[in-house]
Structure 1
């Protein structure tokens, strides 16, 4: 099953595509979708939506997973992140994908073993879990971690059923 992991952001949305066959995970692709910081907000959101539509059409994932919004000290940044996340969720739903949603601490727990891992630890474990993968920066690493978390939760649900 191809799983698309998404780490939403208005400036940069990370994405990672993995294939899950039972307990085996393999890397398919990863990258970053960037919007023009000088463009008006509606245009940036529309551009993000168009890039996501092309990404889903190119790779045809069977499932998607998205990181939940964490609240930070800057309310304006949190609001922009939430708007980008809304575009990500709506786009995946429009494509017919059911989206798993995971808190950042749960993603870190699933990949690193602790919910308080830093970005370098997440990146390092993603590299170990998907050997030989060239990761396109921290946003892509986070997106791959979200996809790995989703694969683990789907496998657990199958075992429990």
Structure 2
């Protein structure tokens, strides 16, 4: 039997950060936990502190083997990208301090791996995550995105594909 590995998926956000943990290495990935770190009521550095501490608690409690995180996507608003980058930074720092390896995936990589098309909508991602993990109900949007990130990492590892090579332009 393959070695079990625990994957913490993160969908970073400056107001809501989704997280999802799966265990893989058996026939199908197994759902462990998911949720949303909500920091809307805080401002500035307090938000970042709360994200950092919450991710640290998840890392301590669930002891994941790897953290899979969505890369920053800049579309129109550079200010939003900077704020999101700060949230990602404290998440990456929390994982690095705990010695947890970090894998990064673009939104397109995640959606194409889980749904089959890189520009899938939130509802499609929720539906596929629910089905892939045999959940009784669809997870909340941010938690579904985080679980999709974890499932994407699991898929790449099960196929023996290095995701960093894919981001350089190669295809599978």
Q: CA deviation at 1:76?
A: 1.4
- Which residue is equivalent to 1:5? 9
Say if 1:135 and 1:14 are closer, same or farther in 2 by CA, change over 3 A: farther
In structure 1, how many angstroms separate the alpha carbons of the residues matched to 2:113 and 2:92?
A: 22
Counterpart pick for 1:102 among 101, 105, 114: 105
- 1:111–1:122 CA contact under 8 A, matched in 2: yes
Cα-to-partner distance string for 1:126-151 (whole Å, 9 max, x where unaligned): 00101125554100000000000000
In structure 2, relative to structure 1, the CA distance for the partners of 1:133 and 1:93 (3 Å cut) is: farther
- The answer for unaligned runs of 5 or more in structure 1 is none
Aligned length: 157
Runs of 4 or more above 4 Å deviation: 133-136
TM-score, normalised via structure 2 length: 0.86
Change over 3 Å in CA distance of 1:145–1:28 after alignment to 2 = same
What is the CA distance between 1:2 and its match in structure 2?
0.6
TM-score, normalised by the number of residues in structure 1: 0.92
Give me the CA root mean square deviation: 1.4
In structure 2, stretches of 5+ residues that fail to align are 162-172
Q: CA deviation at 1:23?
A: 4.5
1:86 paired residue number: 89
For 2:115 and 2:43, locate their aligned partners in 1 and report how far apart those are by CA, in whole Å. Answer: 37
Match of 1:59 in 2: 62
